Copies of this chain bind each other. A is one copy, B any other.
Amino acid sequence: MSVPPEEAAKDVFEVVPIIMREIRSVMRSKRPPVLTVPQYRALSFVDRNAGASLLDVANHLGLTPPSTSKLVDGLIGHGLMTREEQPVDRRRLKLAVTDRGHKDMIAARQGTLAYLTDRLRNMDEGDREVIARAMKALHLIFTGNPKIGERWG
C-alpha cells in the first residue's frame, strides 16, 4: 500500500505534538533540578562541545542569538554553565558546563529516557523497529544529517 506524503504529514502533525508534550512534562517534573527542554538541549550540546560560542549553540538549537543569550543567562544564573572571555577573539564566548550542570543534564536525560523506554517496552518488537527506522528517516530529512545517536556516546 502506498502512503502519499500528505498522509504521512498528517500523521506526523498529529502525533509529534502529543509526544513532545509528554517529553516536556517528564523533563520538567524532575525536581530538583528542573530543566526545560531547551535548557537540556543547550546543556547537552555544550557538554559535548566545551568552549562552544553562543552562535554555535544558537545554530544547533535553531534559535536566534538573542533567544540563546537569554537561555544561557538562565543556565548561568542557576550555576549550570559558565561564560568565559576568549583572549583570541574577544567577541566570541567560551561556554562550558559546570559539574552541577552536567549532573542535572544526566538526571534529566535519564529520567526522560526511562519514561520513554517504559512506554516503548510493552509493544510489539516489530513496532519498535518501525519506530527506530522512522526516526532515522525523519532525522535525515529534517537535519540533513544521516547520523543519529552520536549525542549519546
Contacts and interface: CB of A to CB of B under 8 A. Distances in A.
A122 B130 CA distance: 19
Q: How large is the interface on A (under 10, 10 to 19, 20 to 34, 35 or more residues)?
A: 35 or more
A137 B142 contact: no
Interface in A1-41: 1-23, 25, 37, 41
Interface of A: 1-23, 25, 37, 41, 62, 109, 112-113, 116-125, 127-139, 141-143, 148-149, 151-152
Given A17-B20, A131-B137, A117 B11 contact: no
25 contacts: A3-B125, A3-B128, A5-B117, A6-B117, A7-B132, A9-B120, A10-B113, A11-B136, A11-B148, A12-B135, A13-B109, A13-B113, A14-B135, A14-B152, A15-B135, A16-B20, A17-B41, A20-B20, A119-B141, A123-B137, A123-B141, A130-B133, A130-B134, A131-B137, A134-B135
Complex copy number for this chain: 2
Query: Considering the complex of A and B, which 8 residue pairs feature the smallest CB-CB distances, nearest first?
Result: A134-B134, A9-B116, A11-B135, A5-B120, A9-B117, A127-B137, A20-B20, A15-B135
A5 B151 CA distance: 18
